[in-house]
Chain A
C-alpha cells in the first residue's frame, strides 16, 4: 500500500485567510492525487483531482498543486462553510487507493 501523510493535523483560521494543507505520498505517484472535503456528519465531497484539476461546481478559491510525492491544497479567502476535514487520496493504481489521515479546519 502507498502510505499517505498530511500536515498539519489541525488548523484554526479566520474567515478571509489563505490556508495551505500539505500531503505527502510514500512513493512517486505522479499527479494521481485527489482532495476531498468532509463536513461533520456528511459524506465527503470531491474538490480536486489529478493534483490540480477543479471538480465541477467547486469554487475557484480552491486550488491544488504538486507532483511526485509532495502536494498542496490551497484555500484562498476562506469562507465559514469551508470548516471540516480535508483528506488527500492517491489513485496511482486502479482500485488500490489510500487516504491521508486528514486535516481538520476550524474557523476562529
Chain B
C-alpha cells in the first residue's frame, strides 16, 4: 500500500511562489494519477488539478489555470505542485493524493484513495 509524504510547512511573501513535494513510498505511482487539493482555514476542499505520471499530462482546474504547475518525476515516486503569484487568499493546507481506478469491464471509477498528510502554506507580508 502506497503512502504519501509531503514537504514541510512554508511561509511566503505575497507575489512569491511555493513548491510542495509529495513522495510516494511502498509503491510507485506508475499506474495511478496524482492530484492536488487545497483547504483554506475553516473552508471546504478545492480541487486544483492533477497529473497522470506515465503520460506526463497535467490537467488544471479553471481557477488555477496559468498560476499552477503540477509535475511528477520520471520514476513516478515524487510529485510536485508549484503555485505562483501568491496572495493572502492562498493561505491553506495543500494535500496531494493518489487517484486510483477500480475497473469492472469497461467501466472505471476514479477515486482519491490515499492522501498525503497535508502541507500548510501561509502567505503573509
Contact = CB atoms under 8 A, between A and B. Distances in A.
A87 B100 CA distance: 18
Contact of B47 (A32, A94, A99, A101): A99
Interface stretch (A19-27, A45-53, A66-74, A75-83): A45-53
B116 interface: yes
A1 B46 CA distance: 12
Contacts of B52: 94-95
A46 B35 contact: no
Contacts of A63: none
**Chain A interface residue bracket vs B:** 20 to 34
B47 A43 contact: no
Interface of A is mostly: loop
A64 to B, nearest CB: 12
B78 to A, nearest CB: 18
B112 A95 contact: no
Contacts of B97: 43
B112 A44 contact: yes
Contacts of B59: 94-96
Contacts of B112: 34, 36, 44, 46, 89
Contacts of B47: 89, 97-99
B4 to A, nearest CB: 9
